[in-house]
């Protein structure tokens, strides 16, 4: 039997679950009666599906709630929970987009600090393990955490945000170091020195910066013509 990676499996099942959702409408979990004209009742029904790990069905219901009752308080909660459900499924790109939509649509909501922090968490979780790959998610994660610290300097999660920034910066420094060492192996001393100097300039407080200083000191002087 062919096993699909989790994210591909999740996306492949999205259409089928959406069709099933249309068929069942808001009948409720385990036969529970749901008032289709009450956004609070619809929200409770979607939460039941989340608790039961019926994630795609929950997302469909939350979206339907937002479309039918766009000015209700539950519409804001639905947008936030869509991000949460995507995050639970490790669909971090969709999660960050959903949290960003909440931040932009409800900038003064009491949960906006949570949404901004979760944007950072989503991007951080999407950083590839291989430093040779695109690290755009790392940069976006740092930007999101910095936004949180700027807007909520006394936020209860500020320490967590600061620690995450530190860890991500270390990973970015490691990527730069791997590139510098590649140039060293090629014998391109000038390019290696430039990279090593860049690490010390941008990430001076990282372990990679310490290693960069050591490697820079060991490189031969360039020959003058």
Domains and CATH numbers, the chain: 43-109 (1.25.40.10)
Q: How many whole angstroms separate alpha carbon 35 and alpha carbon 54?
A: 20
Is residue 92 within 8 Å of residue 125, measured between CB atoms? yes
Q: Which residue has the tokens 């790109």?
A: 93
Neighbours of 89 (CB within 10 A): 19
Extract the residue ranges of the chain whose pLDDT is less than 50: 1-6, 8-26, 30
Is residue 199 within 8 Å of residue 208, measured between CB atoms? yes
| Closest of 146, 152, 62, 135 to residue 98, by C-alpha | 62
| pLDDT score recorded for residue 224 | 52
Q: Number of C-alpha atoms within 13 angstroms, CB side, residue 206?
A: 24
| pLDDT score recorded for residue 222 | 65
Q: How many helices (H) and strands (E) does the chain have?
A: 10, 0
| pLDDT score recorded for residue 167 | 97
| pLDDT score recorded for residue 131 | 76
Is residue 87 within 8 Å of residue 118, measured between CB atoms? yes
Question: What's the pTM value of the predicted model, to 2 decimals?
Answer: 0.81
pLDDT tens-digit series, residues 118-156: 999 999 999 998 877 889 999 999 999 999 999 999 999
105 alpha carbon, distance to own chain's centre? 19
């Amino acid at each position: 039997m062919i096993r699909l990676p989790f994210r591909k499996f999740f996306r492949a099942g999205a259409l089928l679950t959406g069709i099933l959702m249309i068929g069942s409408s808001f009948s409720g979990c385990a036969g529970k009666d749901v008032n289709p004209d009450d956004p609070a009742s619809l929200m409770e029904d979607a939460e039941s599906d989340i608790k039961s790990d019926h994630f795609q069905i929950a997302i469909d219901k939350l979206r339907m709630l937002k479309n039918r009752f766009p000015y209700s308080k539950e519409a804001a909660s639905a947008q936030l929970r869509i991000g949460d459900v995507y995050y639970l499924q490790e669909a971090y790109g969709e999660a960050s987009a959903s949290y960003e939509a909440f931040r932009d649509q409800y900038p003064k909501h009491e949960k906006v600090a949570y949404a901004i922090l979760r944007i950072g968490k989503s991007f951080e979780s999407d950083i590839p393990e291989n430093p040779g790959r695109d690290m755009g998610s790392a940069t976006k994660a740092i930007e999101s955490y910095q936004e949180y610290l700027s807007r909520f300097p006394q936020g209860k999660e500020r320490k967590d945000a600061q620690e995450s920034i530190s860890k991500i910066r270390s990973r970015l420094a490691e990527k730069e170091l791997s590139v510098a060492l590649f140039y060293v192996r090629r014998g391109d001393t000038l390019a290696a020195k430039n990279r090593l100097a860049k690490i010390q300039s941008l990430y001076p407080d990282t372990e990679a910066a310490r290693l960069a200083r050591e490697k820079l000191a060991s490189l031969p002087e360039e020959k003058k013509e």
